[in-house]
Structure 1
């Protein structure tokens, strides 16, 4: 016998909603479903008819409440429709003496509900654009800014000094992107632990070599064709249990600033160097060819970023972002774990000499008069902004608690989409298109994967890159995919399955060995699942 227990839950929750000045409908519908349950337990046909009346009334109420929008109707009616289907199929057993016309009518109605459920489920698997590019004016071509040479490399975290994340590469196009396959996979050997660690590096590509880092600040260099490790450097950092991650490294080539002498004398050690920040608040320099520490940089290859910070709380200040290399300077900020207590470390921005590690200038928001190291006995202004988060605010009479608006099942209570990707027409300054990004395939209620690729748009972490062939590459969502979209329409052209989720920004380059274009993404897992990884995955067209 069908037991409509959801009615009791709906009744109790509806009464609570009334106490919060909410809608009365849920309580009334729950009451009707509860009475229907009692009658059905007694095998009364009136119980089925009462439930069906509640279901029809719910359809009318839902359309009045939210219109014809798919997801609001889906959340309000889909489960009720499934129960209605079961009730309709049970009606002939509740009136065994009347199995002719009423039974046929019941089965016909059940068929209609089943068709409606199937159509709704199919629609739930289709993308529901927030705004399409249909009828929009043809975008006016613009001029690329901040271009770099060689374009085939990816020498900065954002590809160019301007951080455009735009690559002028034409090997992978809208016509052949669907043929992308995994070319190679590299594993760092460090799988993130818990929810705080993250493998989110966007590697650099210089002259056939990829450079990256791990959440414990290990540095590595890879062959760009095979993913084979060339060297590995362990800076032996002190443990950071707060928010350990490394988003990228910097690159400096001193030969780029000197004329070609025409001889073939081997370059001195650290002529080309990789600059990285470490989670124990150090700046590190290693030889780009060998991975050996550059001993002429700071103290045998590293510079402490805690000098002048004042605060003894080491867990409240550490860098996670890639350093910015500008001419002969390395510019770094730092992650300050804001709102934890009074007198936190400063959010000072500093520039160091790329060769020696000497401090060149400092910008202290709280005291602009300090342009280098603070006077003896003083420090940079404490408490200047860096990073926001949940906070106990020790030393104050208050605190902050932030959280997401979730149901007991861990499902957001707001209407989808929960994550989108959008394009802005810079000529008109209007949204050209906006699409949900991500599906429920690898997550779901109580954190259990549904394995249903409903494209409702999931919360995102990570950014996109674009190419001159009109492609957008992005992972960032809570399912295990990297996608290629049409930059003109937002239409998905391809997606590649990843072993775990990815919260890093991808990058792309052309290998000087084969002339092939590769798309690379680091996959370390995402905040929606406990499945983590240590992967760097490269995609390319088949040879």
Structure 2
């Protein structure tokens, strides 16, 4: 007779009970959550699997081997379902299978103990199964560390010709390399073969550590290099001049800028009078700063401050240029009306267009309807005199507003970097939205004419030559976020077309004729969902750039939901099914709606870089959704602010708005990876050449806990890239602490260097006029999501 005692000894009982409890708890979670998901119209898998696990766990707790066999059935069914639901994509399968694989190993290991309760002896099959499953988990875990392309390069690799004698880049005078925004360096001393030998040449410190609380300070600077001096600006409106070969400080200027939030300086402007002397004498010695004539400037730096000033500095000694504005300063609050503290400031680089310096400004979008104007102004680069103003709300105002008046309050602004074509003498303005962002029922057609558009204005007068709108009646904060790229694209007939390429937050890329504004790549007006919010109106269509690739903006479905385990994946599925999601242009309403991409993008302020020799454009993106709903005015919380996430007041409209990132309870994006990529696009064929995930979880992870694992899942990116003629793409705007170099031909990561903290800054490269050595320089002040901050400027070079 078999032993009737299910578990004859405590030593045998406790491992089984632990595993049974784990299976029971898993089954209970999946059953309860699965029932709710099924009620919402979601997948039935979770409730079925949950019930199977409940029975399996109960049987094992009773000492029945049948419980293990039932678990095996559930696991095999899960495997079939996972492949049916997710296909053969690695990360979606990991979410569905890995945790259950771990439990499978435990069940297999206790199976012989269960068999002993029947008075029989188990064979070795369970241990073999446990070993095979464990081996599969180890292989999957190891594969998670292997970088893989999303789109692999095909066909012949592009060639990278050496820089012709005397044609190399000598300076980096503009934030985007040139006013065309190409971020391309005609340098080849550092190339694909020797980049592995790069090492730190020098490190400097700004002494200005950005403190990030909410939408606080961020170091997002791209330095300028003029002759033998490097110029950087800090989040708190300081400028520092450094020797390009040593990083030794030459001078610094402190504008003593004050702002309650959004402190940053992405870049400086630079202007030199024709025939102005270089910063060094023919002997190579530095100018004698102590004996420089105060206020006399032939070479000027333009600092945009966080408290709405434009300051011109002598590039030689850092002193304000007395002949510019009022002793070196133009007060940008003039003509703006009331500006509450922090509601208007400069965040992007001034555009130096010939002898003009052109500025827009960031407006705190969602406080109220009566916010500061979004006027764009051009000043004489030498005197600071106002040359023209472009007020989208009142084009009749072309300079100062009339006495007692202001520029148009709440009109669309230009906060991103602008571009300039000197041959056409056109300035290209990427515009934002009329405030506030998420309710447009009070906007007139005139209010929205120039919003979320690229507007080409005459550099001499500010008069509009053309405009192209990329979001109609924008209710999603789809400001045009990045500097337009000005590039001559092949026309297929042996010639070229003058193009403007614009990346957007919604993951669309537009290619327009920069002379006329007409699309070069086809744009199609498509019907979009219509909302039902009382008092709101909706555009029936939106422009889709069907002639160019779209990046990261596919309409999500339930099977796109993801999690580190099946449990948080289930919660994400439940959250998804409780929201309304109708694609990119899901209109805000009184219920939860999911906007994907969210208001951070898609693509953001970093823009693109280009290899013009091979017509390759490099685009980095982030894939973060935004969950939102509108709040009737009488239900608005009193502590609502207009900064980043949470409730925003939108005073003057019938509604405030709630905004939250679409994240799991573990703080991980709810949709499947990647969450950030780098993409190469052929501007001739207008096709993706390659696409790779960028960034690892080494310095981030669930609940904000650093995992310390270099798993290249692809994390949200923020910041500019840099392309070189030697076939390299440099990038540092990841959530882990690295500066990376990619092979421009394939997207393969071929070098990286660990940074002391993360970076959101633009890499820049130059050749020293004194030593002939090429350097790559990066600011490292901290990644956006990380509390770890620094004040580093790091230069890399090849060893001597």
TM category (shorter chain) comes to over 0.9
Note the alpha carbon deviations across 1:133-164, whole angstroms, 9 max, x for none: 123x555999x9xxx98713211101112121
Note the alpha carbon deviations across 1:224-266, whole angstroms, 9 max, x for none: 11112111111122x211211000111121144799xx99999
Structure 2 vs 1, CA of residues 149 and 200 (structure 1 numbering), >3 Å: closer, same or farther? farther
Structure 2 vs 1, CA of residues 189 and 362 (structure 1 numbering), >3 Å: closer, same or farther? same
Q: Which residue of 2 aligns with 1:212?
A: 232
| Cα shift at 1:102 | 3.5
Distance across 1 between alignment mates of 2:282 and 2:233: 34
User: Which secondary structure state, in structure 2, belongs to the residue aligned with residue 39 of structure 1?
Assistant: helix
Tell me if the contact between 2:34 and 2:46 (Cα under 8 Å) persists in the aligned partners. yes
Q: Which residue of 2 aligns with 1:432?
A: 689
The alignment status of 1:152 with 2:152, answered yes or no, reads no
User: Which secondary structure state, in structure 2, belongs to the residue aligned with residue 518 of structure 1?
Assistant: strand
User: Which secondary structure state, in structure 2, belongs to the residue aligned with residue 35 of structure 1?
Assistant: helix
Q: Which residue of 2 aligns with 1:412?
A: 669
Identify the match of residue 73 of structure 1 among 87, 93, 100. 93
| Cα shift at 1:101 | 7.6
Q: Which residue of 1 aligns with 2:785?
A: 528
TM-score under structure 2 length normalisation: 0.64
| Cα shift at 1:100 | 8.9
Q: Which residue of 2 aligns with 1:131?
A: 151
Q: What's the Cα RMSD here?
A: 2.5
Distance across 1 between alignment mates of 2:73 and 2:771: 68
Q: Which residue of 2 aligns with 1:122?
A: 142
Q: Which residue of 2 aligns with 1:244?
A: 263
The alignment status of 1:537 with 2:794, answered yes or no, reads yes
Q: Which residue of 2 aligns with 1:340?
A: 367
The alignment status of 1:350 with 2:607, answered yes or no, reads no
Distance across 1 between alignment mates of 2:262 and 2:32: 41
Structure 2 vs 1, CA of residues 70 and 99 (structure 1 numbering), >3 Å: closer, same or farther? farther
Q: Which residue of 1 aligns with 2:6?
A: none
Distance across 1 between alignment mates of 2:105 and 2:119: 18
Distance across 2 between alignment mates of 1:197 and 1:96: 64
| Cα shift at 1:343 | 1.4
Q: Which residue of 1 aligns with 2:340?
A: 313
Distance across 1 between alignment mates of 2:30 and 2:697: 25
Distance across 1 between alignment mates of 2:789 and 2:264: 14
Q: Which residue of 1 aligns with 2:752?
A: 495
Distance across 2 between alignment mates of 1:138 and 1:291: 46
Q: How do 1:452-463 and structure 2 match up within 5 A?
A: 452-463=709-720
The alignment status of 1:271 with 2:298, answered yes or no, reads yes
Identify the match of residue 17 of structure 1 among 32, 37, 40. 37
Distance across 1 between alignment mates of 2:106 and 2:208: 50
Q: Which residue of 2 aligns with 1:90?
A: 110
Distance across 1 between alignment mates of 2:768 and 2:749: 26
Tell me if the contact between 2:373 and 2:409 (Cα under 8 Å) persists in the aligned partners. yes
| Cα shift at 1:530 | 1.5
User: Which secondary structure state, in structure 2, belongs to the residue aligned with residue 399 of structure 1?
Assistant: strand
Distance across 2 between alignment mates of 1:258 and 1:166: 26
The alignment status of 1:185 with 2:216, answered yes or no, reads no
Distance across 1 between alignment mates of 2:407 and 2:204: 41
Identify the match of residue 62 of structure 1 among 79, 82, 86. 82
User: Which secondary structure state, in structure 2, belongs to the residue aligned with residue 400 of structure 1?
Assistant: strand
Distance across 2 between alignment mates of 1:40 and 1:231: 74
Tell me if the contact between 2:202 and 2:246 (Cα under 8 Å) persists in the aligned partners. yes
Tell me if the contact between 2:269 and 2:302 (Cα under 8 Å) persists in the aligned partners. yes
| Cα shift at 1:83 | 0.7
Q: Which residue of 2 aligns with 1:507?
A: 764
Instruction: Between 335-344 and 32-41, report the one with greater CA deviation.
Output: 32-41
Identify the match of residue 179 of structure 2 among 145, 152, 161. 161
Task: State the aligned residue count.
Answer: 536
Tell me if the contact between 1:92 and 1:99 (Cα under 8 Å) persists in the aligned partners. no
TM-score under structure 1 length normalisation: 0.94
| Cα shift at 1:284 | 0.6
Tell me if the contact between 1:485 and 1:494 (Cα under 8 Å) persists in the aligned partners. yes
Identify the match of residue 361 of structure 1 among 372, 388, 403. 388
Q: Which residue of 1 aligns with 2:58?
A: 38
Distance across 1 between alignment mates of 2:795 and 2:712: 25
Structure 2 vs 1, CA of residues 70 and 101 (structure 1 numbering), >3 Å: closer, same or farther? farther
